[in-house]
Amino acid sequence: MRTLGACWRVRTTTALAVLPLFAGCRTVAMQDTGGGGDLEPIRSMLVELYESFSFGPGEEADWDGMRTLFAPGANFYSPIRAGRTPVGEDVEEFVQGFRDWVTGTPIGESGLREEITHWQIVRCGTIAHAFVTFDGVLPDGTPYSQGVDAIQLVLDGERWLLASFTSQYARAGAPLPERFVDPSFARGAD
């Protein structure tokens, strides 16, 4: 088993190696209606991902559908709290943790829909990064949560797959930054 320090060294080295590649990449916010056909497969994958997270009253998330969207070795970081060391999870740990949360809270009975409200996508060749703002909404329309997911994706030659996933939730005294919230956003606009 790798130590956390070794994992961070690998991630930091990878991030520093990849960062210059983004210098020539473009950013397209979701409300951009200028085409962006090269981003459509990424958009479709993200919609499918958030649909797999959602479930109705007494139902479960689409665990198997969710797994098909993850690249081999994909990792996940739960929302990081101040003073705590981030801990990565693999696909099965993420799915089990999500499942345990669903079944261990009233949300499991009420259901929850995660709705994309804004996104910013940067693509450079076979890699992409998406900041996805979402609202967690109960079936009766009551807001439950709001957050931003930072998602790295890779193209396996045929389709886009999730490589890493980190979340930040809005909370009292710490709302989401304005650049991640767009009141004019309409997913169907592009």
Q: Is residue 1 in a domain? A: no
Handedness of CA 134, 189, 69, 71 (dihedral sign): negative
Question: How many other C-beta atoms lie within 10 A of the C-beta of residue 35?
Answer: 10
Q: Is residue 16 in a domain? A: no
Q: Is residue 143 in a domain? A: yes
| Number of domains composing the chain | 1
Best CA proximity match to 88, nearest among 142, 8, 183, 170: 8
What local confidence, expressed as pLDDT, does residue 1 receive? 45
Best CA proximity match to 95, nearest among 49, 131, 141, 132: 49
Supply the range of the domain harboring residue 162: 27-176
Residues 139-148 pLDDT 10s: 999 999 999 9
Q: Is residue 13 in a domain? A: no
What local confidence, expressed as pLDDT, does residue 183 receive? 62
Q: Is residue 138 in a domain? A: yes
Q: What is the CATH number of the domain that holds 126?
A: 3.10.450.50
Q: Is residue 187 in a domain? A: no
The residues of the chain scoring below 70 in pLDDT are 1-37, 182-190
Q: Is residue 131 in a domain? A: yes
